[in-house]
Amino acid sequence: MAALFSFSLGVGTRNSNDEWLEVYYPAPTANLDEATSKAFLAAVETAGIPYRGGNQAIELDNTLLNQLADTLVTKGQADQAGIAAQLVASKRPTVITILATDEEPSSVPEAYLKLHLLSHRLVKPHNVNLIGIFACLPNIAWTSEGPIDLEELPQRQLRARTEGRWLNVKCVDKFPVMTDYVVPSGVRIAHTARVRLGAYVGEGTTVMHEGFINFNAGTAGTSMIEGRVSAGVFIGEGSDLGGGCSTMGTLSGGGNVVISVGKNCLIGANAGIGIALGDRCTVEAGLYITAGTKLTLLDDSNQPVEQLKARDLSSMSDLLFRRNSLTGAVECKTNQSAVELNSVLHSNN
């Protein structure tokens, strides 16, 4: 038997048409070994849950939950058994989601499970299949009374007013706030609405009020985020994104190009990048570098070496990108090893 990609129990919300809006998974699992996979599937079968193989999300009633809790204990899965027992008392619909393989998500429960896996740091950005996730996720009103189907929102607002309550619509979006589902250890997030579920926020990361981290993006570890980490962008350990800076993600103009930032980099305030940075790179405040930006490469004596486009320096380390205050030209100052690397690139043109 092949090992499962993920196995998780969750509780969520359905609309009046019995369609899933969202699912919360308190303790998702990922990349299970064969022994654990076998134990989970044996418990599912013994409990009478109609799992047919492949990727499935199956709603559970109290009878199935009780049976599953009992059988998980016998299979040595006490933690998941405890969750199943707690879900018996749920007033919301409960679900078991089994992903045999990492295929494109085809339902709301599958999509939410994959977003949870990222925010629980069980998988890293670009290491989980999220193709088609937008089509799976409904646009929802996220309110002080939880997620509400947009078509049902006016009636819910009227009901709240007539009952003397205030229904606060916090946002309308396909993706919820990460901290309503997952609060990773060792992080500070000044404005929680600016980090979406599906963000991978490494331990030691601080996200200031103007910082933003999209889904399938994030930080490897200790970092200061005061700028925008767009979808698909991953920030290396020890890097600092200054206030108002931006990284061009795969959803915002980068196409299929993966933008990343290496270790111990600094992107200055109101700067931006459309190329990947290696380690120990600095981008001057206010300077936005796209792949096609023309720049002059300088040697250690600040003498021009050649002119090229920024994409030719993508992923290289120990670079300083700046704008010449006299001419306005974009320059890149590098050490001798970086010049040699650039020479290799140049010879391949």
Per the CB < 8 A criterion, the answer to whether 109 and 55 are in contact is no
How large is the greatest C-alpha to C-alpha distance in the chain, in angstroms? 76
Strand partners, 199: 217
- Helices 34-46 and 62-74 pack at an angle, to 10 degrees, of 140
Active site residue 226: yes
What are the phi and psi torsion angles at 281 (to 5°)? Answer: -105, 150
Q: Residue 186: exposed, middle, or buried by beta-carbon count in 10 A (0-12, 13-18, 19+)?
A: exposed
Q: Name which of 54, 66, 53, 74 is nearest 9 in CA terms.
A: 66
Q: Which of 22, 110, 226, 331 is catalytic?
A: 226
DSSP state of 101: S
Per the CB < 8 A criterion, the answer to whether 84 and 9 are in contact is yes
How many whole angstroms separate alpha carbon 97 and alpha carbon 119?
Answer: 17
Structure tokens at 266: 């600094």
How many whole angstroms separate alpha carbon 109 and alpha carbon 21?
Answer: 9
Catalytic residue IDs: 226
